[in-house]
Structure 1
Amino acid sequence: MNWHDVAGELLQVRGSALKRYGYLLCGNRVEADDLVQDALVRVFAQPRRSWDIESAERYVRRVMLNRYLDQHRRRARWRILLPRLVSPTSTGDFSVASGDRMDIVSALDSLSPRQRACTVLRFYEDLSVAEVADRLGCSPGTVKRHLSEAIARLGNILVLTSLGGERHGD
C-alpha cells in the first residue's frame, strides 16, 4: 500500500480513536484535533517506507505523545517568563449530565505532563508499565512513581469532588 492509501484508510478507520487519544492527552478537543493533524503531517509528509495501518497508527500515536510533551514544556517556559499569558482555570460550572466526565477531565488537568502521559498510556492505551517506560524513554520505576503520584492525586480530587468539597492547597 502506498502512503496516501494508508493515510486515508487510517483516518477513516481509526481517526476517531486517534482524536480520543489526543483529547485524553491534552484535555482540549481543538488541541486534540491539532495533535492528530500535526502527527499525520509529520508521519506522512516525507514517506520513507511502505506502511501498514497498524504500524502507521503506532507511529502516529508516538508522534502525538512526543508533540504533547514538547508543547507542554514550551508552555511551561512561557508561563514562567510571561505570567500574564496563563489561561484562567476552569470554573467547574458544568451541567449534571456531564459532571462526572468533566470532573475526570478536570482532575487529569491537575496532573503533570509526565503523570498524565503515564496515566493515559497505562489505563487508556492499556500498556504494561514496561511498555509505558519504553514509549516515554524512562525506567519502569519512574513510570511506577508517576502512576502512583497520579493515582493518589486523582483519588484525592475525585473523592473531594464527589463529596461536594473544593480542593484547597493543591
Structure 2
Amino acid sequence: MQLGAAVDASPAHDRGHHPGVGTGRCRMNAAEEAQFIEFVAARQQALLRTAYLLTSDHHAAEDLVQTALAKAYLSWHKLREPAAADGYVRRIMVNENTSLWRRAWKRNEYATETLPERPTRDASTGVEQRDEVWALVQTLPPKQRAAVVLRYYEDLSEAETADALGCSIGNVKSQTSRALATLRGRVTPGTAPATGGAR
C-alpha cells in the first residue's frame, strides 16, 4: 500500500516538509497508543540502523529517530493501515535528514573529508572494498544517499523506496542511477559498488 493511501489527507498548510504531520494536537485513543508503543519496541533498532546509514553518526542517528518518532506520534491517528507505519516513519527520517544536511551545508559545516567508521557488516572477503564504497556513499547528496541506503543496504524494493522517499518509482530509478554513476566514477579500479540483491 502506498503511503498516501494509508495516511489521511492533511490540509494544504500541513503538507510541508513532513507529509502527514498534524498540527500538534494528538487525537490518539488507547488502542492507537498501544499500537504506537508496540511499533517502537519492534522497529526502533531497525530505524536506528537506517538513521545511522543516513547520518554516519550514532548520536545524530539517535536524534533523527527520536525526532521522526515524535512527529509520527503526533499524526499516528491519521494512519489507516498499520503496515504503512514503517514507510511513514522512514519518510519523515529522510526528509528531516535532508533538511538538516541543507542547513549544515549553508553554515559550511558539512565536511566530507572526515568519514566515521562504517556500520558493522559481515566480516567476509572484500571488506576493504566495501569500506571504500561505503565511504564514497557518504559523500553523495542526501537524496541520492537515501535512495542507495534504502535500495542496497536496507534491501527495499523500488516501490518501498519510493514510498519512503515520497516520490515516484521513476524518481527512485533516476536517483539511484545518478548515485551509482557517481560512485563508479570515484571508485578505485577493481572496486565496484554492489548492486546485487536489490529488488
Question: Given the two structures, how large is their TM-score scaled by the length of structure 1?
Answer: 0.70
Kindly report the root-mean-square deviation, in angstroms, between the aligned alpha carbons of the 2 structures. Answer: 3.3
| Corresponding residue for residue 127 of structure 1 | 157
CA distance, structure 1, for counterparts of residue 130 and residue 41 of structure 2? 26
1:27 equivalent in structure 2 = 56
Structure richer in helix, relative to its length: 1
Change in 2 beyond 3 A, CA 1:134/1:52: closer
Matched-pair identity in %? 32
- Could you give the per-residue CA deviations for residues 70-124 of structure 1, whole angstroms, max 9, x where no partner exists? 1112122222xxxxx4557227899xx7755543431111111121122123222
TM-score (norm 2): 0.61
SS of 1:7's equivalent in the other structure is helix
Report how many residues are paired: 155
Q: Which moved more, 1:146-155 or 1:57-66?
A: 146-155
CA distance in 2, matches of 1:42, 1:28: 21
Matched residue, 2:103:
74
Unaligned runs of 5+ in 2: 1-29, 192-199
Stretches of structure 1 that go unaligned for 5 or more consecutive residues are: 80-84, 163-170
2:77 pairs with one of 38, 48, 72: 48
**For 1:17-166, what aligned pairs fall within 5 Å after superposition?**
17-45=46-74, 47-49=76-78, 53-79=82-108, 85-87=109-111, 89-90=113-114, 99=128, 102-123=131-152, 124-128=154-158, 132-133=161-162, 135-138=164-167, 140-159=169-188
Structure 1: which amino acid aligns with 2:100?
Q
2: CA distance, partners of 1:137 / 1:38:
18
CA distance change for structure 1 residues 153 and 49 in 2, over 3 Å: closer, same or farther?
closer
After TM superposition, give the deviation of residue 15 of structure 1 in Å: 1.2
Q: Match for 1:114: what amino acid?
A: K
Change (3 A) 1:139 1:54: closer
Distance 1:48 1:140, change over 3 A: closer
Q: Residue 143 of structure 1: CA displacement?
A: 3.3
Whether the aligned pair in 1 keeps the contact of 2:32 and 2:76 (CA below 8 Å) is yes
**Residue from 18, 25, 34 that aligns with 1:5:** 34
The CA deviation at 1:157 is 3.9
For CA contacts below 8 A with separation 6 or more, give which structure has more relative contact order.
2
Q: CA deviation at 1:39?
A: 0.6
